[in-house]
Amino acid sequence: MDTIAIFCAIDDFCKGFEPRWEQRLLELSLKWRRRRGKLCLSEVMTIMVGFHLSGYRTFKAYYLDQVLRYQRPYFPGLVSYNRFVELLPGSLI
């Protein structure tokens, strides 16, 4: 499966899931501050799925060798490895 197909499947899921998730948080009166970053949730998830489908042993090696070097055209708002790791907790549900 190529990066574009993975992204499309994840993005379709996120478009349906995120509004329901935010509504549920409002119903529970939980404040979930979410600032729009350079990468959307579906892009972060696509990179994570790509790592699990790759043969890399560590995420850092995958991100530095594969994502930053070869997949930059797919992710125009790509951030550094350290910033990406900071974004991960916000993308986990």
The length of the chain, given as a count of residues: 93
Pull the structure tokens for residue 80.
Answer: 């550094």
Say what the pLDDT of residue 81 is.
95
For the purposes of burial, counting CB atoms within 10 Å of the CB of 39, is it exposed (0-12), middle (13-18) or buried (19 or more)?
buried
| Calpha distance 69→91 (Å, rounded) | 23
Contact indicator for 40, 7 with CB cutoff of 8 Å: no
pLDDT in tens, 14-72: 888 877 877 777 777 766 555 556 888 889 999 999 999 999 999 999 999 999 999 99
